[in-house]
Amino acid sequence: MAANRLMEALNNNGVKCKMLVRDKETDSLTVCALSSPWRQQWHFLWERLLIWLHLRLKRQHLFEVDIANSGTDITCLPEFQEADVIHLHWINQGMLSLKNIRKILKSGKPVVWTMHDLWPATAICHYARGCEQFHQACCRCPLLPGNNPHDMAYRVWQKKLNMLSGQRLTFVACSEWLAGEARKSALLKEQTICSIPNTIDTRLFCPQDKAAAKSALKLPTDRRIILFVSQRVTDPRKGIDYLVDAIRHLTDQHPELYQQAVIAILGGHAEEVGPLLTLPVYSLGYISQPQRIVNAYNAADVFVLPSLEDNLPNTLMEAMACGVPCVGFKVGGIPEMIDHGVNGYVANFRDATDLARGIAHVLTSADYASLSRQCLHKVARCWSQQSVAARYTEIYRGERNDELMD
């Protein structure tokens, strides 16, 4: 989604851009698919099988790591051959292998790689979760069983070192936090690393009538809506346990909210956490239609994202673009998005009591209209299509000039 938004921003600001994807789900002429779906599925399944074997036939962590052992050679495609610059995004789960990427780098075309998580800077994980092995060299990965110094993470690390050896490219992190983490990686010590945020289409994500949005989703129009969004609600990284505790603290301190507020959950598996929350829960399920997603944000009075590790969450950007104040922990790129007390509330990390204080601040004590206006101001100033496209265009021009001098 972030890559698609950037493509639209570039095309709207003077850069001819096409996006090559593993699974094409649109009729857009600017989006091109790889080879046949069954072959892409084979690459995906082969990688999962090898990871599963290294996990000793257990599902735990099966989708938390990627090894990029199988993928498609795109260098023979006309889209690749016509391009002046190759821009990589999230290429995992059978799209590109490390060997494929090495071939791209050796093609001589300038390469920019946007990091949507930490995987390009580690061996196999997308979020390090406190592990610092990637500062020197990944091995004895905590996501793998055993304590083998030459485990799968070590072998993938060596392959990534070989992939990048003698090559020069620009890595773009979507947040200053991620850029800082990437600069600690021994894998990227010879590479250029900078930070540019994602962009958002404010023609779609914008304030709309709140009562109408609530009615469209069959939410009560006479209650304040606390919104939580996650593709998989039970993902521990998204901090649902802290939301459960925070709502309990909130209702203990503000019993009047029993009659004034409800929780809306957008994402899968909401039925598993609904009984744990002390306020009525409305499960919106998994929504893919853009307008219904916009309705969900516009229906909300506060958006809560208690992530324990996150880059620059699109969900926060989407909520703020709809004028909805946000509450989240002081972790990752979240403090770069929420200006504490100005357009939302940044709670102390893993502090459910402070998270509850932040929700109460937005719902009961703050100047809500001012918070909402400041959300819109932050979006226009930092994440507009024009500003983000201009920064990427500078990088493309720099890469092209370096290539011509070489």
- 30-79 pLDDT, tens digit per residue, is 999 997 889 999 999 999 999 999 999 999 999 999 999 999 999 999 99
Task: Examine the pLDDT at 110 and tell me if it is beyond 60.
Answer: yes
281/220 Cα distance (integer angstroms): 11
Identify the pLDDT of residue 87.
98
Identify the pLDDT of residue 404.
44
Weakest-pLDDT range from 75-79, 96-100, 294-298, 362-366: 362-366
Same fold, 2-199+385-405 and 210-382: yes
Q: Which amino acid is at 192?
A: T
**Angle CA(145)–CA(68)–CA(15) in degrees, nearest 5?**
140
What residue ranges do the domains of the chain occupy? 2-199+385-405, 210-382
233/272 Cα distance (integer angstroms): 9
Q: Please state the three-class secondary structure of 109-169 as a single string.
A: CCEEEEECCCHHHCCCECCCCCCCHHHCCCCCCCCCCCCCCCCHHHHHHHHHHHHHCCCCC
247/243 Cα distance (integer angstroms): 6
pLDDT mean across residues, the chain: 94
Q: How confident is residue 366, by pLDDT bands cut at 50, 70 and 90? A: confident
Kindly report the CATH number that applies to the domain delimited by 210-382. 3.40.50.2000
Q: How confident is residue 272, by pLDDT bands cut at 50, 70 and 90? A: confident
Task: Examine the pLDDT at 204 and tell me if it is beyond 80.
Answer: yes
Identify the pLDDT of residue 270.
85
Quick check: helix, strand or coil at residue 327? strand
Q: Which token pair is 52?
A: 């599963």
Beta-bridge partners for 24:
none
Return the percentage of the chain with pLDDT > 90, whole number: 86
Identify the pLDDT of residue 365.
80
CATH number assigned to the domain with residue range 2-199+385-405, chosen from the 4 options 2.40.50, 2.40.160, 2.30.30, 3.40.50:
3.40.50
Identify the pLDDT of residue 406.
46
Could you report the per-residue pLDDT of 156-175, keeping only the tens digit for each?
999 999 999 999 999 999 99
